[in-house]
């Protein structure tokens, strides 16, 4: 009852606190939750929330540097799995949010240098993240992630390295099993130390990745470029230019039934080959960030960005099914233009001798989409050719935009007690115009508008500078994506406008303790969700969605990151997550009390490394996932598994040259397991196979122009 009373009391205080978010007056004790994350990052110890910060060096340590899943397994609460399918991106969920996604990332907010990788409708992707130039990755879980707006079950913020003196040039290459290789190059540097007008810093990188794929029909290639240029305009203002571009060509192997997976995990079903399922993605974006210190106590930040993403996907939907005049076809062609601006002002002062910080901002995002559908076959002289783009079957223009004002406050009530509080009013608008109207295929135009107040608050007590505890509460919401609105489960025409946004209330309490050169943290949480959006059915690459009534997530997260004996480092993480339906979401057959599919109840990670700055180094890690329900009835589950990995290498540094040679073995004991799950797949093809024992070698050569 005390927790509930504190939550109510905190929320009632919000108007008096100029309702909206958080930033303590002490820069070393600051939590800033804005439309885009702060560039200088959050303090992992002092932030009153479940937060993990992973450095870029850790992300690259003896790793392929292709996917975020490589070195984020040690983050508690984060379930990140490689589908071995570059047409569908990683499967990523946080505290169970995002588990239903059959492609891309759903239910989470992802940022790359302040530019959202999550579209206004909540759909995100990780394909444009260049691991080779990451400075750090922040993973924020719990109530305060809701202050980032729609679809923020959690937040992943990726920040690119800022160039420094001396200029450096780096070449990196990696070769692995299944015909996999990556080559990349990076240049970084600066003129001056960044404190004088005219000082410039830069980081520019490019990479190419190619793989034949572990499974049949899973080859892929990806070209990625990333650039960051910073300029100090004068003593009080800076300008940062951002650029990113990615091109992907990937085959889509699809899923397997349990019997097929056990018999031959590398195979694909016949339709995958017949229709040559595949996806092509082209995305280019740019951004501009202006920051100015208006006075000793006032700062201004403005972020503008724009981009374009084109996607063409060939699915395995049989030609016979597309004879229905209302069917949108087996080829999806999307062109998306997106842009936005986030402006915020921060003021630091005292009120009745209490240090106070206030941040006020406005976030505007918009996306226009041209969505076309085509038959995935052609007919010429009576001969049917499968896997080719045929007749037009869908043509619509979709527009989605958000306009979110937000306020944030931070109060240092005493030397040990601080209060952070925030609120955001999120509005999401969706409008669709159908240009494909034929006999048997009526006008599917429609519109929807969603809005919600999103409050959050946290009370933190610092026992001493190295140990604190906090309690927090917040509300978040998640609207349907354009894709989720696109199809109705009854096969009728028109948009699925019956889908309602999901609303979640979260309570969290936790504690963090700095022990020497290490950090130990623990968090307990409960999230109750109304109208949870879940997968209804999935077939031939097309998924329909429904509201599931009420769900509850209860969990425990523990982590330890400890450096000892100079060069040794131990990382451990444990996640207990009990995620269940609290009402029937299965129609005539009740699934009340069943586990939400796609979510592991237990996740354990342990890694031990010997990591000197130069010379020989080595590391090992073990990861365990409990079984995962594949569908709402919980009749089919992927088996639990434990996998291990080893890596070793040697670093040389001779004058201006550095060389890092390394090798690694993944799935050391050659375990047979499913790497991910396609939730509620209508043909029971839930299983996406993970590779057996595999090997790789890598090298990084760098030169510093001293």
> If pLDDT is split at 50, 70 and 90, which confidence band does 40 have?
low
Cα 233 → chain centroid: 33
Q: Which of residues 674 and 326 earns the better pLDDT score?
A: 674
Residue 656's pLDDT is: 96
Q: How far apart are CA 669 and CA 643, in angstroms?
A: 7
- Which tokens in the block code for residue 571? 């990382």
Q: Which of residues 238 and 545 earns the better pLDDT score?
A: 238
Residue 30's pLDDT is: 45
> If pLDDT is split at 50, 70 and 90, which confidence band does 22 have?
very low
Residue 533's pLDDT is: 82
Residue 120's pLDDT is: 86
> If pLDDT is split at 50, 70 and 90, which confidence band does 493 have?
low
Inter-residue contact 631 to 677 (CB < 8 Å):
no
> If pLDDT is split at 50, 70 and 90, which confidence band does 24 have?
very low
Q: Kindly report the average pLDDT of the chain as a whole number.
A: 90
> If pLDDT is split at 50, 70 and 90, which confidence band does 443 have?
confident
Q: How far apart are CA 174 and CA 235, in angstroms?
A: 42
Looking up tokens 């009728």 gives 492
| Mean pLDDT, range 217-226, rounded to an integer | 97
Q: What is the pLDDT of residues 377-399, one digit of tens each?
A: 999 998 999 999 999 999 999 99
The answer to whether residue 97 scores a pLDDT higher than 50 is: yes
The answer to whether residue 18 scores a pLDDT higher than 50 is: no
Q: How far apart are CA 245 and CA 129, in angstroms?
A: 10
> If pLDDT is split at 50, 70 and 90, which confidence band does 39 have?
low
Residue 243's pLDDT is: 97
- C-alpha distances in Å from residue 330, one per residue of 61, 392, 495, 517: 41, 10, 18, 55
Q: Which of residues 19 and 158 earns the better pLDDT score?
A: 158
For every residue of 673-684, DSSP letters joined together read -EEEE-TTBTTS
Residue 5's pLDDT is: 37
Q: How far apart are CA 534 and CA 585, in angstroms?
A: 9
- How do beta strands 200-211 and 180-191 pair? antiparallel
Q: Does this model's pTM top 0.85?
A: yes
Q: What SS3 string covers 480-536?
A: CCHHHHHCCCCCCCCCCCCCCCEEEEEEEEEEEEEECEEEEEEEEEEEEEECCEEEE
- How do beta strands 109-112 and 154-160 pair? parallel
Task: Give 627: exposed, middle or buried? Use CB within 10 Å, 0-12, 13-18, 19+.
Answer: middle
Task: Report the DSSP beta bridge partners of residue 507.
Answer: 473, 526
Q: How far apart are CA 324 and CA 320, in angstroms?
A: 8
Inter-residue contact 137 to 54 (CB < 8 Å):
yes
The answer to whether residue 9 scores a pLDDT higher than 60 is: no
Residue 673's pLDDT is: 95
Inter-residue contact 627 to 600 (CB < 8 Å):
yes
End-to-end CA distance of the chain: 62
Q: What is the pLDDT of residues 533-562, one digit of tens each?
A: 877 766 544 567 888 789 999 999 999 999
| Mean pLDDT, range 387-413, rounded to an integer | 94
Beta strands in 582-669, from DSSP E residues, in sequence order: 602-610, 615-625, 628-629, 637-638, 641-654, 657-666
| Mean pLDDT, range 220-249, rounded to an integer | 97
Inter-residue contact 461 to 419 (CB < 8 Å):
no
Residue 586's pLDDT is: 75
Residue 447's pLDDT is: 86
The answer to whether residue 125 scores a pLDDT higher than 60 is: yes
Inter-residue contact 546 to 499 (CB < 8 Å):
yes
The answer to whether residue 23 scores a pLDDT higher than 60 is: no
Task: For residue 37, give the nearest of 25, 26, 51 by alpha carbon.
Answer: 51
Q: What is the pLDDT of residues 563-612, one digit of tens each?
A: 998 899 999 999 999 999 998 877 667 888 999 999 999 999 999 999 99
Residue 479's pLDDT is: 87
Return the DSSP state at 464.
E
Task: For residue 329, give the nearest of 370, 376, 369, 371 by alpha carbon.
Answer: 376
> If pLDDT is split at 50, 70 and 90, which confidence band does 491 have?
low
The answer to whether residue 11 scores a pLDDT higher than 60 is: no
> If pLDDT is split at 50, 70 and 90, which confidence band does 492 have?
low
The answer to whether residue 4 scores a pLDDT higher than 90 is: no
The answer to whether residue 7 scores a pLDDT higher than 80 is: no
User: Lowest-pLDDT range, 58-72, 94-108, 284-298, 318-332?
Assistant: 94-108
Q: How far apart are CA 26 and CA 28, in angstroms?
A: 5
The pairs formed by 451-455 with CB atoms below 8 angstroms and a separation of 24 or more are 451/425, 451/426, 451/427, 452/425, 452/426, 452/477, 452/501, 452/503, 453/423, 453/424, 453/425, 454/146, 454/147, 454/149, 454/423, 454/424, 454/425, 454/426, 455/11, 455/14, 455/19, 455/421, 455/422, 455/423
Is the bond preceding 166 in cis, omega lying within 30 degrees of 0? yes
Q: How many CA atoms lie within 13 A of 629 on its CB side?
A: 21
Q: Which of residues 106 and 524 earns the better pLDDT score?
A: 524
> If pLDDT is split at 50, 70 and 90, which confidence band does 83 have?
confident
Q: How far apart are CA 659 and CA 144, in angstroms?
A: 42
């Amino acid at each position: 009852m005390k927790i509930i009373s504190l939550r109510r009391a905190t929320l009632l205080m919000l108007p008096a606190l100029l309702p909206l978010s958080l930033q303590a007056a002490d820069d070393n004790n600051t939590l800033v939750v804005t439309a885009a994350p702060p560039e200088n990052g959050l303090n992992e110890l002092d932030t009153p929330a479940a937060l993990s910060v992973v450095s870029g060096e850790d992300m690259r340590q003896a790793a392929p540097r292709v996917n975020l899943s490589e070195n984020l397994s040690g983050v508690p609460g984060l379930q990140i799995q490689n589908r071995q399918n570059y047409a569908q991106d990683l499967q990523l969920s946080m505290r169970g949010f995002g588990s239903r996604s059959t492609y891309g990332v759903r239910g989470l907010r992802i940022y790359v240098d302040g530019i959202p990788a999550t579209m206004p409708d909540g759909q995100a992707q990780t394909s444009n993240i260049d691991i080779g130039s990451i400075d750090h990755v922040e993973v924020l879980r719990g109530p305060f992630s809701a202050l980032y707006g729609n679809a923020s079950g959690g937040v992943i913020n990726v920040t690119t390295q800022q160039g420094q003196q001396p200029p450096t040039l780096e070449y990196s290459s990696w070769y692995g099993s299944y015909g996999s290789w990556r080559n990349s190059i990076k240049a970084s540097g600066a003129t001056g130390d960044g404190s004088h007008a005219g000082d410039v810093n830069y980081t520019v990188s490019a990479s190419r990745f190619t793989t034949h794929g572990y499974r049949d029909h899973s080859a892929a290639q990806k070209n990625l470029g990333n650039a960051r240029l910073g300029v100090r305009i004068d003593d009080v203002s800076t300008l940062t230019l951002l650029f990113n571009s990615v091109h992907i060509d990937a085959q889509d192997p699809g899923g397997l039934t349990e019997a097929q997976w056990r018999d031959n995990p590398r195979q694909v079903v016949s339709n995958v080959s017949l229709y040559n399922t595949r996806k092509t993605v082209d995305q280019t974006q740019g951004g501009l960030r202006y920051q100015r210190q208006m006075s000793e106590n006032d700062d201004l930040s403005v972020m503008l960005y724009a981009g374009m993403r084109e996607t063409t996907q060939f699915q395995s939907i049989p030609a016979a099914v597309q004879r229905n005049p209302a069917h949108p076809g087996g080829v999806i062609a999307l062109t998306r233009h997106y842009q936005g601006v986030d402006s915020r002002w921060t003021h630091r002062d005292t009120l009745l001798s209490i240090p106070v910080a206030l941040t006020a901002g406005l976030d505007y995002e918009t996306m226009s989409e041209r969505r076309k559908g085509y038959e995935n076959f052609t007919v010429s002289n009576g001969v049917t050719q499968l896997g080719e783009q045929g007749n037009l079957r869908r043509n619509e223009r979709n527009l989605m935009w958000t306009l979110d004002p937000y306020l944030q406050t931070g109060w240092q009530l005493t030397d040990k007690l601080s209060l952070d509080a925030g609120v955001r009013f999120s509005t999401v608008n969706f409008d669709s115009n159908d240009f494909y109207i034929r006999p048997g295929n009526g006008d599917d135009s429609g519109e929807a508008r969603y809005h919600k107040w999103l409050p959050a608050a946290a009370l933190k007590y610092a026992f001493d500078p190295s140990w604190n505890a906090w309690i927090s509460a917040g509300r978040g919401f998640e609207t349907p994506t354009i894709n989720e609105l696109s199809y109705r489960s009854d096969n009728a025409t028109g948009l699925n406008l019956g889908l309602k946004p999901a609303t979640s209330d979260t309570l969290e309490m936790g504690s963090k303790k700095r022990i020497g050169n290490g950090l130990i943290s623990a968090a307990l949480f409960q999230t109750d969700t109304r109208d949870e959006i879940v997968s209804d059915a999935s077939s031939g690459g097309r998924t329909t969605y429904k509201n599931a009534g009420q769900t509850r997530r209860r969990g425990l997260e523990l982590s330890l990151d400890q450096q000892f004996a100079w060069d040794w480092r131990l990382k451990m993480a444990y996640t207990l997550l009990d995620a269940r339906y609290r009402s029937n979401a299965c129609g005539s057959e009740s699934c009340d009390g069943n586990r939400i599919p796609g979510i592991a109840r237990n996740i354990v990670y342990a890694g031990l490394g010997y990591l000197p700055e130069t010379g020989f180094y080595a590391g090992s890690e073990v990861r365990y996932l409990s079984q995962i329900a594949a569908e709402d009835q919980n009749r089919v589950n992927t088996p639990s598994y434990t996998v291990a990995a080893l890596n070793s290498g040697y670093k040389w540094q001779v004058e201006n040259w550095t060389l890092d040679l390394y090798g690694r073995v993944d799935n050391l004991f050659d375990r047979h397991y499913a790497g991910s799950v396609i939730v509620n797949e209508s043909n029971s093809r839930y299983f996406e196979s993970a590779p057996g024992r595999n090997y790789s070698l890598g090298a990084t050569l760098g030169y510093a122009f001293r």
